[in-house]
Amino acid sequence: MGRESMRPLPAVIDVEIRTRDVVLEGMLALPDTPSGLVVFAHGSGSSRFSRRNRDVAEAMQAAGLGTLLFDLLSAEENTRDRVTAEHRFDIALLARRLTDTVDWLGQEAATRALRIGLFGASTGAAAALITAAERLQRVDAVVSRGGRPDLAGDALGRVRAPTLLIVGGWDPEVIALNAQAARQLTCAHRTAIVPDATHLFEEPGKLEQVSRLAAAWFATYLAATDSRGAR
């Protein structure tokens, strides 16, 4: 996906997302006529400023998709979590914050009409799948990048949004956990194994492969009139 063939990147706007218990900080980018909006749910120890997440978000934007990068934890919680790691594996908390964010997007004039995709990494993938199960009418596609979809538990069987599981070929444990989760999914789904890559996809060219796979998935299902058949 050559950047030279894509449209210019949109401006990024700082936003405050009001959830039921805290205000979260985010960065919203919307092309002039977005074909959908991809909401990022990052994993353990990451943030909206992660270079990996921002690189993937820019690839989405260049493909005509809007993006929302935001922190699932407040600044105070994030500071505490760096020391204690008490929140990053609290899947229920992460999923609740993500669900609140999807609801917030449905109330905002600039985003309420957009079809929503969720891009989850690490534990954020489990949160994305739980939110997809909780908001069947609002979430239209899910992508997991090196994620732990198995941690979504019973929610997996309730997901209706088409789901892409992307796993690094050098990550056999996570491959096995993704295969376990895939067996519980009843929605349209696919597993893509990126060869010669670890779960962070830090090897040369691997994150670009992830971006291409994810952008194609979202472009297909967010642009569709109805990605899952009759609702």
* Element counts in the chain: helices (H) and strands (E): 6, 8
Strand ranges for the chain from DSSP E: 12-18, 23-29, 37-41, 66-70, 116-121, 139-145, 163-168, 189-194
Q: What is the pLDDT of residues 6-21, one digit of tens each?
A: 567 898 999 999 999 8
CA distance 200 to 210: 10
Q: What is the pLDDT of residues 98-114, one digit of tens each?
A: 999 999 999 999 999 99
Domains and CATH numbers, the chain: 3-223 (3.40.50.1820)
**pLDDT for the residue 184:** 98
Which amino acid makes up residue 15? Answer: V
**pLDDT for the residue 231:** 33
Q: What is the pLDDT of residues 131-166, one digit of tens each?
A: 999 999 999 999 999 999 999 999 999 999 999 999
**pLDDT for the residue 3:** 46
Report residues of the chain scoring pLDDT below 50.
1-5, 227-231
Please name the residue ranges forming H helices in 20-122: 51-62, 75-84, 91-105
**pLDDT for the residue 2:** 45
